[in-house]
Amino acid sequence: MATKETKQRGRPRSFDRETALEQAVRSFWEQGYEATSISDLTRAMGISAPSLYAAFGDKRALFDEVVAEYGRLYGGFISRAVAEEPTARRGVERALREAAAEYTAPGRPRGCLVISAALNISPASAEVAASLREMRRSNLREIASAVRADVAAGELPADTDADALADYVGAVIQGISQQARDGAERTALEAVVELAMRAWPEAAAESRSAAGARPAP
């Protein structure tokens, strides 16, 4: 699907589409959707406005591609951590630690694009905000699902409120992203993660034997 089918017919594109997209990612990541103008984008991408519109459609379509690219390159670590670790606790702890690292990684914009790019949007761009919000909700559902699986496995107390726990994790992640944007250092955010994980419920003592085995959600 992504490979060129045959030789293209007309004048070839004079810039690398992937490289330009990567610069668009950085621009939107730094300033958010509305605060990033077409002029900002053409400057960062090194192309003119008509080239941008020919290659990516309009600003909204470019942003959609940017979000997908961001997810592919930088944003998937939460889903990955929760899916790969054997317990919800370990998945969440890994996700939070990676968040502290990712959101302060040198040479990149701070924080999370999905969290911060569509804050304070004017009504005209409400759809963009709704789209990113749904992505965040999806992440929380994954976490809540992992928590429920741990409860079923006796890895967490039976009265654990999975949705509340997922909301809590989401609040901490959003807070970490925000503080990273405010200039917080990685070590400070790791200390926050350390504290945040102290709120994790303790497993009932007698049923910790089944650790590592988790039924599919």
Partner DNA sequence: GTTTTTCTGTAGCGAGCGATACACAAATCG
Partner DNA sequence: CGATTTGTGTATCGCTCGCTACAGAAAAAC
Interface contacts to DNA, rule CB under 7 A: 6-15, 34, 36-40, 47-51, 53-55, 58-60
User: Residue 203: helix, strand or coil by DSSP?
Assistant: coil
Please check whether residue 55 is in contact with residue 20, taking contact to mean a CB–CB distance below 8 angstroms.
yes
**172, interface contact from its own copies, DNA, none, CB < 5-8 Å by kind:** its own copies
Min CB(2)–its own copies separation in Å: 31
Q: Which residues bind its own copies (CB under 8 A)?
A: 31-35, 37, 115-122, 133, 136, 161, 163-165, 167-168, 170-176, 178-179, 181-182, 184, 188-189, 191-192, 194-199, 201
Min CB(160)–its own copies separation in Å: 10
**195, interface contact from DNA, its own copies, none, CB < 5-8 Å by kind:** its own copies
- C-alpha torsion 190→134→32→176, nearest 10: -10
Structure tokens at 183: 């200039």
Q: By C-beta, is 53 or 77 nearer to DNA?
A: 53
**209, interface contact from its own copies, DNA, none, CB < 5-8 Å by kind:** none
Distance between CA 50 and CA 107 in Å, rounded? 29
**188, interface contact from DNA, its own copies, none, CB < 5-8 Å by kind:** its own copies
Q: By C-beta, is 124 or 216 nearer to DNA?
A: 124
CB pairs under 8 A, 24+ apart, for 165-172? 165/201, 166/140, 166/141, 167/140, 168/199, 169/92, 169/95, 169/96, 169/140, 169/143, 170/136, 170/139, 170/140, 170/143, 172/96, 172/196
